[in-house]
Amino acid sequence: MKLQIINGPNLNLLGKREKSIYGDLSFEPFFDSLRDQFPQIQLEYFQNNSEGAIIDKIHEIGYEYDGIIINAGAYTHTSLAIADAIAAVTTPVVEVHISNVHAREAYRHHSFLAKNCVGVIAGFGLNSYKLAIESFIPEGTQ
């Protein structure tokens, strides 16, 4: 199984920014721990602050991978273009958020991406990514 994690804007600052919301661990060591926890899965990671680069990555892998896990950051609430890219590809996508977006500012309560995703996971810290990976593993094979 081949899964791609895509992180959007400002997620390169995990471990440095707003630690009370996002924690104090940067994504790279967490990603290494995911690879250790799921050795049977080929996990890849891409982060970019640019909407166009995220769309290009979805287009690049969206017909070949078994799944995409996306945390589009603030683009979740603003990007029709990323939502359209997700709708255009055949690879299933799970939207993730580190924080519980529904317990935050009202503008974070709406996702343009969600209707084109197979599921949304929010509020479990970095473990939201782990839950998303587990959602792609067929029952009985974990």
Catalytic residue numbers, as ranges: 22, 97
Cα-based torsion angle of the residue sequence 55, 106, 117, 29 in order, rounded to the nearest 10 degrees: 70
Residue type, 1: M
Q: Which of 96, 97, 48, 87 is nearest to 57 (CA)?
A: 48
Q: Is-contact 102 77, C-beta < 8 A?
A: no
Torsion over CA: 44, 8, 110, 125 (sign): positive
